[in-house]
């Protein structure tokens, strides 16, 4: 099925963490915090979030107080709809 974004494994876990933490540009979640929750290194989190950024699902705020946040839309599709499609919904 083309157009479906796979959010399984660590990618899906990062999305769920950003959702649970109610991340926004004003309230990003640090890679160190995500890594601590997932028991992986912050550098690995940064590597994976680059992929999510390329898909338009996650944004990054640089500098002091920076981190990652969910974008409201990715590639013209709300990220929640992408997740629902992964789960077999419409």
Q: Tell me the per-residue pLDDT of 19-60, one tens digit each, with 9 for 90 and over.
A: 999 999 999 999 999 999 999 999 999 999 999 999 999 999
DSSP state for residue 64 in the 8-state scheme? T
- The full set of domain ranges for the chain reads 9-80
Cβ neighbours for 41, distance < 8 A, ≥ 6 positions apart: 35
Q: How far apart are CA 46 and CA 90, in angstroms?
A: 30
Please identify which residue in the block is written with the tokens 């649970």: 20
- Residue pair 68/16 in contact (Cβ under 8 Å)? The answer is no
Question: 51 or 85: whose pLDDT is higher?
Answer: 51
Could you tell me the pTM of the whole model? 0.73
Fold type of domain 9-80: Arc Repressor Mutant, subunit A (1.10.10)
């Amino acid at each position: 099925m083309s157009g479906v974004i796979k959010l399984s494994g660590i990618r899906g876990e990062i999305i769920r963490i950003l959702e649970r933490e109610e991340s926004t540009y004003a309230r990003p979640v640090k890679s160190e915090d995500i890594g601590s929750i997932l028991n992986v290194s912050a550098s690995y989190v940064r590597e994976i979030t680059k992929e999510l950024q390329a898909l338009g699902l996650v944004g990054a705020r640089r500098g002091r107080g920076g981190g990652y946040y969910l974008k409201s839309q990715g590639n013209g599709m709300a990220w929640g709809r992408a997740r629902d499609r992964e789960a077999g919904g419409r």
